[in-house]
Structure 1
Amino acid sequence: MRIAILGLGEAGSHFARDLAELGLDVTGWDPNPQRALPAGFVMASNNAEAVLNADIIFSVNLSAVSTEVAREVLPVLQAHQLFLEMNTSAPSKKMEIAQILAPSGVQFVDLAIMAPVPPAGIRTPMLASGPGAALFQEKMVAYPLQIEVLQDVEIGRAAQLKLLRSIVYKGIAGVICEAVEAGKAFGQEAYIREQIRSIIGEKDDLIDRFVEGTHKHATRRLDEMSAVVDMLEEQEMIPLMSMATRDQLQKLADKKE
């Protein structure tokens, strides 16, 4: 089985390594690859070349370029291929990409990555919806992927559930980060940690994981919470808490640049 991976950032490079170790032929493309790739990995000259002979296509680009990537590969896609749209986007964006690719007849999968990719890599839990979801699970049954296929085949459903979950997880992480920062500013970090532990359980290491993870992955989580805000605004909601989480992540991402 031949795999193409479009986007070789943190997630894409981990997937490339793990799939190659499982004995699959892996090729891909990224305009600016910065991470180590496995022995035998074939770097194509562009996205279209990468997908030419692939059975399954993992599109793990940034949401900002996902429609551009779809238009680039459309002329060479074939109906027997599976296209996994894995970018963190609002459901409406997933449906837009599916519509772009529809003339090719490609089997479309809305695939949501439901946890940080390191350290589990390709074994990270994934949620799948869309017309090609069941076929994707069937093709990967011999490999140690954790794929939950939703009974609802609607494109965007997996993205919707991931983003709803993000409201909780990223929102809690944001509150904990601000509380710890405030505790330090007033010389009361021990006190504020005690208050946080009273809610999340006696797990001081969990506080550190929330804080460190938020700072380390601020840029990626910013994209995620921006997608949450888009999704909620499309429902004519005023997502005050999610906008605050997004803005906090924007501040942290700006500091990293």
Structure 2
Amino acid sequence: MKIAILGLGEAGSRFANDLAEMGVTVTGYDPNPLRELHPSVTLASNNAEAVKDVDVIFSVNLSSVSEEVAQDIFPVLKNTQFFLEMNTSSPDKKKKIDMILKPTGVQFIDLAIMAPVPTKGIKTPFLAAGEEGFAFLEKMKPLKLDLSLVENGQVGDAATMKLLRSIVYKGVAAVICEAVEAGEAFGMPAYIRKQISSIIGGNDDLIDRFVEGSKTHALRRMHEMEAVIEMLEERNLDPIVTRATRDNLAKLMN
């Protein structure tokens, strides 16, 4: 199997390295590759070169460049290839990318990354949606990935489920971060941790994971919250709490 990874940041580089370690032929492209790659990963000079003649394309870029990437690879795509739109984008953005690429006949999959990548790498849980979802799962079976399929799901459904989930997880993390900061400011860190622990099942270590995870991945999670805001506003909902979550993540970056 030949796989292309477009975007070699934290997630993309880990996917590339893990797949290469499994014996997969991997080609990657990133305009500014900074992370160490497995020796067998081939770096292409552009997006189009990376995807030419591969079986599966992982697009793991920022949502802000996803349309540009789609335009870059459009001339070389084939109907035998699977294109995995993995960027954290709103459902409508994923549908827009699908429409851009549809004339090529490429098999488009809305693939959501459902957990932090550093923990499990390519074995991270993924949620797939799209008309070719079942064919995609069959294609990837030899790699034994943690893939789930949205039943009768269309492009955008996996993104919707991921972002709805993010409202809860990232929102809870924001509340915990603010509470811990307030407890320390008032000289009552033990007291506030006890209050938080009573809500999250008595798991004190989980408090630290929420706080440290929010700090470490603040930029990526801020973009995720912006995608949630876009999704909710498209349905004429006012994302008051999600905006606050985004603002909290922006503060953690300073």
Deviation digits for residues 71-94 of structure 1, max 9, x if unmatched?
Answer: 110011011100000000000000
Asked if 1:205 corresponds to 2:210, the answer is no
TM-score (norm 1): 0.97
Q: Pairwise CA RMSD of aligned residues? A: 0.7
How far residue 152 of structure 1 moved from its aligned partner, in angstroms, is 2.2
How far residue 22 of structure 1 moved from its aligned partner, in angstroms, is 1.2
Query: For 1:98-247, what aligned pairs fall within 5 Å after superposition?
Result: 98-247=98-247
How far residue 180 of structure 1 moved from its aligned partner, in angstroms, is 0.2
- Provide the aligned length of Structure 1 versus Structure 2: 254
Amino acid across the alignment from 2:106: V
Amino acid across the alignment from 2:96: E
User: Which runs of 5 or more structure 1 residues have no equivalent in the other structure?
Assistant: none
Counterpart for residue 92 of structure 1: 92
Query: For 1:64-75, what aligned pairs fall within 5 Å after superposition?
Result: 64-75=64-75
Provide the rounded CA distance (Å) in 2 between the counterparts of 1:172 and 1:77.
Answer: 41
How far residue 53 of structure 1 moved from its aligned partner, in angstroms, is 1.2
Deviation digits for residues 116-155 of structure 1, max 9, x if unmatched?
Answer: 0012000000000012221211011111200001112311
How far residue 202 of structure 1 moved from its aligned partner, in angstroms, is 1.6
- 4+ aligned runs moved over 2 Å, structure 1: none
Provide the rounded CA distance (Å) in 2 between the counterparts of 1:132 and 1:80.
Answer: 11
SS of equivalent residue, structure 1 residue 36: coil
Provide the rounded CA distance (Å) in 2 between the counterparts of 1:174 and 1:165.
Answer: 14
Provide the rounded CA distance (Å) in 2 between the counterparts of 1:2 and 1:201.
Answer: 44
Counterpart for residue 251 of structure 1: 251
Counterpart for residue 9 of structure 2: 9
SS of equivalent residue, structure 1 residue 142: helix
SS of equivalent residue, structure 1 residue 237: coil
Which deviates the most, 88-97 or 147-156?
A: 147-156
